[in-house]
Structure 1
Amino acid sequence: MWRWISGLMLLWSGYGAAVCPVWSQAKADKEVTALSAQIKGWDDSYWKQGVSEVSDEVYDQLSARLTQWRRCFGQDSSGNGLPVLVGNIKHPIAHTGVSKVASKDALRQWMQARRNLWVQPKVDGVAVTLIYRNGTLAQAISRGDGIKGEDWTAQVRSMPAVPTHLKGMLGNSVLQGELFLLRDNHIQQQMGGMNARAKVAGAMMRQTDRSLLSQLGVFIWAWPDGPKTMAQRLAALSAAGFDLTARFTLPVHSVDEVAKQRGQWLTSPLPFVTDGIVVRSEDEPSGERWLPGEGSWVVAWKYTPVSQVAEVRDIQFAVGRTGKISVVAALEPVRLDDKRVQRVSLGSVGRWQRLDIAPGDQVMVSLAGQGIPRLDKVVWRGPDRQKPQPPVSQFHSLTCFYASPECLEQFIARLSWLSSKQGLDINGLGESGWRALHQAHRFEHIFSWLQLSQEQLAATPGFSATRGLALWHRFNLVREQPFIRWITAMGIPMTKAALSASGAESWQAMRKRNSADWQTLPGTGEEKARQIINWLQDPQIDALSAWLAEQHINGF
């Protein structure tokens, strides 16, 4: 049941606003049937065998996507992936579930109408009811549909973390909480969810191997009809052995306090996996009034997903500066952190073919270092897969220094590299700027921009007079760059370390070196030396060096 609820909530927070696919009814029926069958297969494995074949986040997001597709094409979405609920044990007090807010502002609005508020981590596990009678654990019930669940008494009694005997007020009580996988210094931001929720559910439903039960803990988040104040509840729970609740239930008075604590729990070592925080008021109605979906005194604010499932809309090919073809997947836009991601690199043609990705497939993407989108894995392949044929490359490391229609992509790639920090470091000029300049002024070769005047730059479509003047100054400053930066921008096949060790100060001195001379440099063997000599002797390179000499560039 937790999977159905979480998937439904995700739909409203993310995919609910997604644009419907542009499909014929026949294609829609085929896609929906295939994804529905996949989710049903996962459900059967999960509910009947206690085995999770896919991570929680993938399951949640694909379930939400299936619901979205069904709504788009007028199909019944009420039974989306929902397995048959076999629980027949009635909860003495219903589980309300937790509604969710999507932002700090939404939480602020919710808090304004409530008082006596407390914040807790949203522990990622499976919900349970614990029933104590006359000081003994009498029954444990899975959440199920919130009204009825399965009998988990035998499993819970096998958990060292759950007291089997209690005294005082708790001797006759109903507690609601989360069974979770015990962790040692789990840092959520670094380690993620680890599929902990599915591992706990599998341990509870598996009838044989119960070794994992000793690795489970319990976090009590509700004591219906318990003491009036939260402080009284926490003191009694802590004395009874439920000490985590007291440690991780803190009073809050403002949304800023909640946001600060949310950030701390995201980045601090904790004994459990979390997926957000929960804010609750200690002012609760009597337990007889609790109903699924009606817990108005409690709300969750989940963490931003570190990865998202996105649909591949197109496969595109690009020629890089060395002539190699790279592959990019154009995606249905998704939001990761504060970035809108709609493209992800798949690397070389060979890697793309090994990954076996086609338009219509669902892939998991996240952000790598410096916020660069990264493909994590393919999570589902559609039934109607048509992969485009990659182009046959006629380009290599010694082509397209001069412009021509067939050379456009490699030529622009060379210009983009030339202006990067690794090249001449022309700040503020990337691929789109180079395309605009080339379209307006029709460069002959990769250094033709050196002859553009201030007036020409200011008159370039898409360039303001201010930007044109600033770029003209940058182009003039570039003329003073050292010789090594210029040959790096030209694409000489040498590492930075080798170039520095070479002590190269002029074109003429470099042309005089033979293979043995080059092989004395770090990381330069016979094959690399041959590549360097071929590059230096190439007619296009030789012509460019002569042109740079006419422009009085250092070292030429």
Structure 2
Amino acid sequence: MLWITKLIGLLVLLSSVASATCPDWSPVHAQKEMGKLNEKLTEWDWAYYQQGTSIVSDATYDGLRSQFNEWQHCFNPAEQPQEPQLFTEGKVLHPIAHTGVKKLPDAAAVAQWINGKSDLWVQPKVDGVAVTLVYQQGRLLKLLSRGDGEKGQDWTAKAKMIDAIPKVLSGLLANSVLQGEVFLKRENHVQKTMGSISARGKAAGAMMRKGDAGLLKELGIFIWAWPDGPADMNQKLNSLEKAGFSLTKTWSKPIKSMSDITTLRESWFAGSLPFVTDGIVIRQSQEPAGKHWLPGKATWVIAWKFPPAQQLAEVKDVQFSIGRTGKIAVVLNLNPLQIDDKQVKRVNIGSVKRWQTMDIAPGDQVMVSLAGQGIPRVDEVVWRVSQRNKPQPPSKEMITPLSCLYFETRCREQFIARLAWISSPAVLNINGVSVSSWQQLQQKLSLEHIFSWLALTQEELSKISGFSSAKTVQLWQQFTKTRQQPFKKWLMAFGLPLPRAVLTTMPDSQWLHLVARDELSWQKLPGIGPGRAKKLVEFVNHPQIAALAAFLAQQGIQGFSN
């Protein structure tokens, strides 16, 4: 998990909190929700720091920790944002404190930070466990966990089983303090497609639990700081490489511009690396003396994280979308979030049954990612509020494949969906008519049924304030053109429950032929069983279908007029 140490990332957090929308909760309700979430966060902190176990994903923990602080800002603004309960029991003082790294939110912030700075270097932000290595008289004296940045746990015994950590050094490094990341070694890891794979939790677990000697041998070390080391970065990197810390030189690149930074960031995000990363680190080679290092006070180094594959979103409300055949889909309206280059406000989660199984209510927190073609999806529900104020779905008895052929207020959504289907390329191919166009037509001209637009005049269309004169002419011409469409296209416009392959080979060319068919006659068509045959008989003989067929006959549509 992204276990933020004291004060690190506070400015970024406060920025996001300031823009958050506060829930409409009473003080009592707010305290109940915050208490419940705080209890769970504390449980996860204890498991991670005491047992080395990641109960939830990094994205889930980070998102809910941020959510708690947003609620705290809303309901207890005088309090400081809460930090992770480290439970490190760290008793060993670091010779030089861990400063942590401030995370900047975007390219503009990074460009502003590098402005006026020189001798800058970029490194991958390796996703592991931060440590201090202390060498004295050429030997590894201590390996300490970061802890709270000032004190950590003594992991020296574990260091003996990590082959990647040199036990003996000479030269400038014989008496040195190094800071770095213990990480799970990988081969050809592509962050963009593979994600974090819980690498940090596995590394932390290996360091904290007893045993795990096998996993310790799979750990590597990336040194990202040598306080009080050589002032020249190249000398520092060469010395580390000769001592056995070769990754630091390989993955530290000098940069001169914002373009250099973005190029490296994109390359490392999509390329093969020997470790898991969650961003890049940009640092100045010139650093203050180690005695001045303090937790949360680094001004010479910042991080720019990779875009997350998943993000946490709060459900604002639950709506039901009704398709032309009466199928009900559940749509979640979310507090807007940015995933990659896409802003997500709504996500369709499918059927009412799936929504009920997932048990999602307004106020819940869901993990959202992008599926194929950038379509947002809900991966899981990560937090449920205690008050389950879920809306009632529409009654299935009132919404059927034969409902909303004629307009009623309750039918608005299905009626518009029917019109959109009729105008689609596969049916009547009415160019230039979008869903919003149908909505405007219905609002201004009050269409009685799904074919009422056939009888509209050009003058009537010109009364719609949202349509230009050119749009009016185009619509009227397109509506008129549909009269030339073949009979079977109009059957598709009705929504006749017949597979398209059967419809195209069916010999009937007149509506009267269909009305004359009984169930046995329908079953003579390929692939039509008793159940489908019964539905077809009911469909063509339904009073509203018969009325629509009569209307099409009046309009002179091929196959309907006698």
* Global fold match (TM > 0.5): yes
CA distance in 1, matches of 2:119, 2:82: 38
Give aligned-pair identity as a percent: 50
CA distance in 2, matches of 1:191, 1:503: 54
Which of 480, 492, 503 is 2:496 aligned to?
Answer: 492
1:211 aligns with 2:197: no
Contact 1:319-1:325 within 8 A present in 2 as well: yes
Which of 307, 322, 327 is 1:324 aligned to?
Answer: 327
User: How much has 1:409 moved relative to structure 2?
Assistant: 2.6
Contact 2:9-2:103 within 8 A present in 1 as well: no
Matches within 5 A, 1:41-440: 41-74=43-76, 76-393=79-396, 394-426=398-430, 429-440=433-444
User: How much has 1:384 moved relative to structure 2?
Assistant: 2.1
The answer to which of 36-45 and 130-139 deviates more is 130-139
CA distance in 2, matches of 1:235, 1:511: 88
CA distance in 1, matches of 2:525, 2:157: 71
Residues 383-429 of structure 1 show CA distances to partners (whole Å, capped at 9, x for unaligned) of 22233333322221122222223432321221233334554454554
Code of the aligned partner of 1:56: D
Contact 1:10-1:60 within 8 A present in 2 as well: no
Contact 2:12-2:105 within 8 A present in 1 as well: no
Residue 4 of structure 1 is matched in structure 2 by 4
User: How much has 1:505 moved relative to structure 2?
Assistant: 7.1
Code of the aligned partner of 1:172: N
Residue 35 of structure 1 is matched in structure 2 by 37
Code of the aligned partner of 1:540: Q
CA distance in 2, matches of 1:197, 1:474: 60
Contact 1:7-1:63 within 8 A present in 2 as well: no
The answer to which of 205-214 and 355-364 deviates more is 205-214
CA distance in 2, matches of 1:344, 1:327: 9
Contact 2:320-2:328 within 8 A present in 1 as well: yes
Judged with a 3 Å threshold, the aligned counterparts in structure 2 of structure 1 residues 230 and 400 are, in CA distance, closer, same or farther, namely same
Judged with a 3 Å threshold, the aligned counterparts in structure 2 of structure 1 residues 555 and 17 are, in CA distance, closer, same or farther, namely same
Code of the aligned partner of 2:412: L
User: How much has 1:173 moved relative to structure 2?
Assistant: 2.3
Code of the aligned partner of 2:32: K
User: How much has 1:359 moved relative to structure 2?
Assistant: 2.0
Code of the aligned partner of 1:448: S
**Secondary structure of 2:177's match?**
strand
Contact 1:4-1:82 within 8 A present in 2 as well: no
CA distance in 1, matches of 2:521, 2:218: 64
CA distance in 2, matches of 1:496, 1:237: 70
User: How much has 1:460 moved relative to structure 2?
Assistant: 1.4
Judged with a 3 Å threshold, the aligned counterparts in structure 2 of structure 1 residues 534 and 46 are, in CA distance, closer, same or farther, namely same
The answer to which of 252-261 and 74-83 deviates more is 74-83
CA distance in 2, matches of 1:501, 1:238: 75
User: How much has 1:87 moved relative to structure 2?
Assistant: 1.0
CA distance in 2, matches of 1:549, 1:194: 63
1:452 aligns with 2:468: no
CA distance in 1, matches of 2:86, 2:424: 54
CA distance in 2, matches of 1:179, 1:503: 73
CA distance in 2, matches of 1:113, 1:258: 15
User: How much has 1:12 moved relative to structure 2?
Assistant: 3.4
CA distance in 1, matches of 2:131, 2:222: 10
User: How much has 1:441 moved relative to structure 2?
Assistant: 0.9
Judged with a 3 Å threshold, the aligned counterparts in structure 2 of structure 1 residues 96 and 441 are, in CA distance, closer, same or farther, namely same
**Secondary structure of 2:167's match?**
coil
Contact 1:10-1:64 within 8 A present in 2 as well: no
Judged with a 3 Å threshold, the aligned counterparts in structure 2 of structure 1 residues 371 and 522 are, in CA distance, closer, same or farther, namely farther
CA distance in 2, matches of 1:397, 1:321: 7
Code of the aligned partner of 1:338: D
Residue 21 of structure 1 is matched in structure 2 by 23
Contact 1:321-1:414 within 8 A present in 2 as well: yes
User: How much has 1:166 moved relative to structure 2?
Assistant: 2.8
**Secondary structure of 1:137's match?**
strand
Residues 469-515 of structure 1 show CA distances to partners (whole Å, capped at 9, x for unaligned) of 44444444555556555433432334455555668877677778887
Contact 1:220-1:242 within 8 A present in 2 as well: yes
Contact 1:8-1:64 within 8 A present in 2 as well: no
Contact 1:2-1:126 within 8 A present in 2 as well: no
CA distance in 1, matches of 2:495, 2:60: 42
Judged with a 3 Å threshold, the aligned counterparts in structure 2 of structure 1 residues 555 and 7 are, in CA distance, closer, same or farther, namely farther
Residues 163-191 of structure 1 show CA distances to partners (whole Å, capped at 9, x for unaligned) of 22333333332221112222222222212
Contact 2:49-2:88 within 8 A present in 1 as well: no
CA distance in 1, matches of 2:497, 2:133: 69
User: How much has 1:379 moved relative to structure 2?
Assistant: 0.5
User: How much has 1:210 moved relative to structure 2?
Assistant: 4.2
CA distance in 2, matches of 1:250, 1:215: 26
CA distance in 2, matches of 1:510, 1:174: 88
CA distance in 2, matches of 1:260, 1:518: 64
1:468 aligns with 2:472: yes
User: How much has 1:60 moved relative to structure 2?
Assistant: 1.0
Contact 1:100-1:300 within 8 A present in 2 as well: yes
Contact 2:73-2:81 within 8 A present in 1 as well: no
**Secondary structure of 1:3's match?**
coil
Q: Once superposed, what is the RMSD of the aligned Cα atoms?
A: 2.9
Contact 1:419-1:425 within 8 A present in 2 as well: yes
CA distance in 2, matches of 1:277, 1:520: 67
User: How much has 1:62 moved relative to structure 2?
Assistant: 0.8
CA distance in 2, matches of 1:183, 1:454: 68
CA distance in 1, matches of 2:481, 2:247: 63
Contact 1:436-1:461 within 8 A present in 2 as well: no
User: How much has 1:545 moved relative to structure 2?
Assistant: 4.1
The answer to which of 541-550 and 373-382 deviates more is 541-550
User: How much has 1:355 moved relative to structure 2?
Assistant: 0.8
Residues 300-338 of structure 1 show CA distances to partners (whole Å, capped at 9, x for unaligned) of 111222222222222223332212332222222222233
User: How much has 1:237 moved relative to structure 2?
Assistant: 2.4
Judged with a 3 Å threshold, the aligned counterparts in structure 2 of structure 1 residues 553 and 13 are, in CA distance, closer, same or farther, namely farther
Contact 2:94-2:132 within 8 A present in 1 as well: yes
CA distance in 2, matches of 1:209, 1:244: 24
User: How much has 1:116 moved relative to structure 2?
Assistant: 1.4
Residues 517-542 of structure 1 show CA distances to partners (whole Å, capped at 9, x for unaligned) of 87788865554455445444444344
Code of the aligned partner of 1:317: F
The answer to which of 98-107 and 421-430 deviates more is 421-430
